[in-house]
Structure 1
Amino acid sequence: MTSRGRFADVVFGRKQLIVLIAFVAALSGIGVGLSAQKAVWEGWVIDRLFQLRTVLRPAQAKTPAPVVVVGLDQVSLDSEKLAVLPRVLMTPFFAKAGQGVIDAGALVAGFDFVFAYSADDFQFPGSGEASLRGLDVPFKRFLLQNRGKVFIAHTEIGVPHRSFSAVAGAGGVRSVLVVTDSDGIVRRHAPDAPLVDSPDMIDAVLAKLGSDISEGYVAIPTSRLATSTPYLSLVDVLTMLETEEGKEALKDFVGGRAVLFGSMLPYEDEHLYSDRFLPHLPAKEAMTGPSGRPRVQPQTAGVLILADIVGAAVSGRVAKAPPRGVLPAVAILFAVAGSLAGLFLPLMVLPAVALSGIVAGLGVSLAGLEFGVLFAPGVAPVACVSAMVVSAVGKVGILQRKQRSLVRLFSHYLAPDVIRQMAQSEQLPELGGDTRHVVVGFIDIAGFTKMSESLADREVVRVVNSCFDAIGQVITAHQGYIDKYIGDAIMAVWNAPNTVDDPERAAVDSACEIVRLLDRMRDKTGQPALDLRVALHAGHVLVGDIGGEYRRSFTVMGTTVNTASRIEAVAKENRVRLAFSKPIADKLPESYPKKAIWTGLLRGLSKDTTVFTLDTAEMKMERIAPAAREKHTGKSGGLRKRSV
């Protein structure tokens, strides 16, 4: 193992890397999950949870709704009582209806209308006649007599006429503005405590109904408001007040409740509300007057939203934010679960696990609604999935790192290209192989047998390993592949299994550099008699796996290998450090000082072979000391064993 590999394993060992990835994945999941609060899609999920809750929640006894809506609808405008007057002149009818519901037992009456115009100020053009003066007197008297129980509206751009504001009193004019979420849909309300002093009409009505709610909440509707909110048309109230029987029916309708007056006309004061996915309440179950209800619109009338926000708080149909720290704890739990799943479960099952995490996260939010707690529905699923994605990516990195480590480790035993090919195909190559043109080389430690007789076994191993390490680095640097170690020799191949553009020149250059390492190897091993012989031959060989089902080896086979081995004997006889065949000599440039040293029939071959060397001083073994030359002569027995 290289020093670089050891450093990487120490700093980023597999266990440490897994812990680091799990930590980073969990941290990422927590951060991304918590950032999903109030995302633009969160409201849509909340509304779907309300829908699912309605489907799953068993039928329960209906409790009387605390708020009744009296609507100015098209039926009222078309009735004989109201058709003769424009809407701005209907204050006498509002006064009569408002006083009627108060007398019938309503605890509070709120008007979701901005009475910005007073008939007392109207004068006919030209004549200046103020024939409408006094028309608003009944409504002003009604406001004055019921101060503290009746509220009129103002909006961001509309305020009541000063005469109405004066008789309504300081607390009689309240805001009917509603707050939308980031997706433009009304869902929540933040009370302004104390409620009696709040500028909002919702809070004023809540106070009159005895509510002491002070925390922000989300109203949980159970059906479309347009089909379920107790409703009377304005003309129905006026008609009921004309008979004793009608007055009794009105008492049953509004007694002990709040009454909100507002417009039910299409496209007038409408908002998107979280009831839009909910089922319609059957008409027979809804509290409705004789004139029925306006048809359900895509959006919800503002007065119905005000009524539901008030009614939800009074009847407990609200969900509040979880206590501080609970939501981060949920994010941590799901992020850790996601990160562990991504690391330790098979990649193929992660989509199903991610879906399970999403369902579980939404299940937590759905269960929280039953306890009046609204967990931001995006936090848990996003924390789980994002942590799982990060850890899965890290796991892929670990697998790739493991693959690289295996390639690096097993490259000491097998060609890295072969290992990478097996890793990519995930199967063993077929036995046999392909025929390729290669250069085969035998690098032999000359005189090794004689030298090893005087050395201890451990010292022999040290000398051999030191030489093989230096020689192997040179072979690899010149794109060679070490096929095998044969005792004190190395069999190397150029152009298999990798591809080398000029294998003959690469092999000779490698041999020259190995020879130049002799002095350094002698100093390092402490063996002055150490010498080398390199034999090279080029030709076609069979490259591939040999062996069986349970054990195999990658190698090269053929006459070329045997010829290279025989050429080593020629090198020994001619006392040269490098010997190579004519096919190699023919491929070398003219600048290489090639010299033929032998021509003849090598053992086992049928044709003559010409052997060359480089005509340089360093290639002649005579350069070594006489004592070392004597030791080299004892190596012939090992050579014959290999060349037979």
Structure 2
Amino acid sequence: MANLESWIIEQGFKGSTVGALLSGCAERLHGEGIPLLRAYIALPTVNPAFRVYNHVWTRRDGILVQGVAHERNDGAFEASPFGAMLRSGLTEAHWRLDDADPQPFEAFGDVRREGGTDYLARLISFENETAPDLRGIAVSFSSDRAGGFLPADVARIDAVLPLLGLAAYRITLLNLAVDMLDTYVGLSAGRRVLSGEIRRGSGTTLTAALFFADLRGFTALADTAGMDLIARLDRHLEAMVEPVAEQGGEVLKFMGDGILAAFPITAERTRQEACAAAIRATQSALQRNAAVNRLRDGETSLDLDIALHCGDVFYGNIGAAGRLDFTVIGPAVNETSRMEALCQPLGCSIVMSESVASVSPVPVRSLGRHRLRGLAAERELFTLSFSGAPALSP
């Protein structure tokens, strides 16, 4: 087997990136004597942020990867050479670009400006019913030789394309699994699942500063509002989630109109540092949530209540044999939730336990001792000593 074919198979087994796969393949084809100027792969994906990834390799600049957002006009594909091929039922096409005639596609102008003389296009279908959105890939190659690729060049490219497509498909499926797990169960949980933590009851004990946030008044509003409330809820949740991520925390759970997040305490991050990060995230979330309310002037305001606490939680697989959830449970979680329920009665947007307040980098004041539901002993609770506290420096 030729060196290039062996290399492509190795990349597919090793789980390389599609960008590395394309650039390595293009460079090796050029090394074989094929005057390759440009190579391109477009891969659809199932991702909340992007609908397709474009990979472009050029001999001068190397690889460039660009995610195309869902909001981008689908007409761009329809007006491309690949859209024309689909409409004509073609999977192969080869256009010469080194003549003076006007070119039918905008993409050809880009290739000609780079010095390209032709455009070899191929469509490779995946046809997997379990992943219908991964319909296949679009591939193109361009030469800078006068007259374009020779028939032997085209034959060589076509000979490696099935392997290239198979390796790209394998890499894409793995990326899809990672993206979906990261999106729906969280970065840490997703990587734990992929690493084999999948048995019911398996997990780990996590010591962390816990962040429990909830929108006040959302339930009553949801009883009367229409579907547009979902879009508004997304904005409020964004106001909570983004500060958590910015301060090195992770959202462990969405709970309707609220979230549970954690700032792990590790050998690299002390309790004081984790609590400070949680407080910074809290201040930022309150400010951003207020900004969302201002954008909805004239509508019912949805204020944010946040409870902060420190403790140990169990983080792992819980559920039935055929339906598991990688979630977090434990007395510290319950205590944080019950602290949040006291925000409104106490007239505070922030309630924190002594374990957080004792290492707070900003002044706090006591709210007195209070009984939390299900706990025998009263707990002293705290809040920031001034309202509208400015965001702390990291």
Aligned to 2:283: 512
The match for 2:120 is none
The 3 A distance-change label for structure 1 pair 401 and 506 is farther
The structure-2 alpha-carbon separation of the partners of 1:556 and 1:31, relative to structure 1 and needing over 3 Å to count, comes to closer
1:609 aligns with 2:373: no
Counterpart position of 1:250: none
Work out whether residues 418 and 497 of structure 1, in 8 Å CA contact, stay in contact via their aligned partners in 2.
no
CA contact (8 A) 1:504 1:588 kept: yes
Residues 1:433 and 1:409: Cα distance change in structure 2 (over 3 Å): closer
1:462 equivalenced with 2:231 (yes/no): yes
The percentage of counterpart residues that share the same residue type is: 22
CA distance in 2 between partners of 1:34 and 1:489 (Å): 57
Question: Quick one: structure 1 residues 465 and 498, their matched pair in 2 at CA, closer, same or farther if it must change by over 3 Å?
Answer: farther
CA contact (8 A) 1:29 1:331 kept: no
Residue identity matched to 1:414: V
- In structure 1, distance between residues paired with 2:32 and 2:23: 14
State the distance in 1 between where 2:317 and 2:260 align: 16
- The equivalences for 1:67-466 within 5 A come to 332-344=154-166, 395=167, 399-400=170-171, 402-423=173-194, 425=195, 428=198, 431-455=201-225, 457-466=226-235
1:568 partner letter: E
Count of matched residue pairs: 256
Unaligned 5+ residue runs, structure 2?
1-16, 36-149, 390-394
More strand by share: 2
CA offsets 1:85-105 (integer angstroms, 9 cap, x no match)? xxxxxxxxxxxxxxxxxxxxx
Letter in 2 for 1:538: C
Question: Which whole-Å CA distance do the structure 2 matches of 1:448 and 1:408 have between them?
Answer: 30
SS in structure 1 of the partner of residue 184 of structure 2: coil
CA spacing shift, 1:448–1:427, aligned 2, 3 Å? closer
Instruction: Say if 1:555 and 1:330 are closer, same or farther in 2 by CA, change over 3 A.
Output: same
Residue aligned with 1:576, SS? coil
| Paired residues of 2:312 and 2:332 also in contact (CA < 8 A) | yes
8 A contact 2:200–2:321 mirrored in 1: no
User: What SS class does the counterpart of residue 214 from structure 2 fall into?
Assistant: strand
Structure 1 Cα separation of the partners of residues 237 and 197 of structure 2: 31
Aligned residue for 1:618, secondary structure, equals coil
Q: What is residue 322 of structure 2 aligned with on the other side?
A: 550
> Is the 8 Å Cα contact of residues 445 and 530 (structure 1) preserved in structure 2?
yes
Which residue in the other structure is 2:247 paired with? 478
Give the aligned CA root-mean-square deviation in angstroms.
Answer: 3.5
Query: How many angstroms apart in 2 are the aligned matches of 1:331 and 1:512?
Result: 61
Q: Report the CA distance between 1:512 and its aligned residue.
A: 0.9
Q: Letter of the aligned partner of 1:487 in structure 2?
A: G
Deviation at 1:21, TM superposition (A): 7.2
TM superposition shift of 1:476: 1.5
Name the structure 2 match of 1:491. 260
| TM norm structure 1 | 0.36
Q: Residue 523 of structure 1 corresponds to which residue in structure 2?
A: 294
Distance apart, 1:518 and its partner CA: 3.5
Native 8 Å contact 1:26 1:335 kept in 2:
no
Alpha-carbon distance in 1 for matches of 2:379, 2:262: 20
Any conservation in 2 of the 1:25–1:335 contact (CA below 8 Å)? Answer: no
AA paired with 2:333?
Answer: V
For the structure 1 residues 332 and 25, does the alpha-carbon distance in structure 2 shift closer, same or farther, using more than 3 Å as the test? farther
Where is the helix percentage greater, Structure 1 or Structure 2? 1
- Partner in structure 1 of residue 364 of structure 2: 594
Amino acid in structure 2 at the alignment position of 1:451: L
CA offset digits 1:501-526 (Å, max 9, x no partner): 52211111111111122331112233
Change (3 A) 1:524 1:32: same
* Residues 469/498 of structure 1: CA separation in 2 closer, same or farther (3 Å cut): farther
Q: Tell me the residue number matched to 1:264.
A: none
**Residue 129 of structure 2 corresponds to which residue in structure 1?**
none
Between the aligned partners of 2:318 and 2:165, the Cα distance in structure 1 is 38
Partners of 1:519 and 1:334 in 2: CA distance: 61
Answer whether contact 2:290 2:303 (CA < 8 A) is retained: no
In the TM superposition, what are the counterparts of 1:43-62 in structure 2 within 5 Å? Answer: none
The structure-2 alpha-carbon separation of the partners of 1:31 and 1:509, relative to structure 1 and needing over 3 Å to count, comes to closer
Residue number in structure 2 paired with 1:32: 32
Deviations 1:511-545 (A, max 9, x none): 11111223311122333532111111111111112
The Cα offsets for residues 289-338 of structure 1, whole Å up to 9 and x where unpaired, read as xxxxxxxxxxxxxxxxxxxxxxxxxxxxxxxxxxxxxxx75665455324
What amino acid maps onto 1:448 in structure 2? F
Q: 1:442 to 1:608 in 2, by over 3 A?
A: same
Q: 1:181-222 CA deviation, whole Å, 9 max, x = no partner?
A: xxxxxxxxxxxxxxxxxxxxxxxxxxxxxxxxxxxxxxxxxx
Distance 1:525 1:553, change over 3 A: farther
SS in 2 for 1:599: strand
Measure how far apart 1:604 and its partner are.
0.9
8 A contact 1:505–1:588 mirrored in 2: yes
Distance 2:214 2:367 in 1: 19
Instruction: Label 1:433 to 1:497 Cα distance change in 2 as closer, same or farther (>3 A).
Output: farther
Q: Alpha carbons of 1:471 and 1:499: their partners in 2 closer, same or farther (altered >3 Å)? A: farther
Q: Deviations over 1:406-438 (max 9, x none)?
A: 433432211213323444x36736633111211
Name the aligned partner's letter for residue 493 of structure 1: A
Report how far residue 579 of structure 1 moved. 0.1
Distance change in 2, residues 1:427/1:493 (3 Å): closer
- Kindly indicate whether the alpha-carbon contact (under 8 Å) linking 2:214 and 2:304 is maintained by their aligned counterparts in 1: yes
So what's the TM-score if we normalise by structure 2?
Answer: 0.56
* Structure 1: segments with no counterpart, 5+ residues: 1-16, 36-327, 345-394, 620-644
- Find the counterpart in structure 1 of residue 313 from structure 2: 541
Partner of 2:102: none
The DSSP-based 3-state class of the residue aligned with 2:183 is: coil
Shift of 1:342: 4.8
Deviation string 1:2-45 (CA, Å, 9 cap, x unpaired) is xxxxxxxxxxxxxxx99x9789948954861689xxxxxxxxxx
| Distance (whole Å) between structure 2 residues aligned to residue 545 and residue 497 of structure 1 | 22
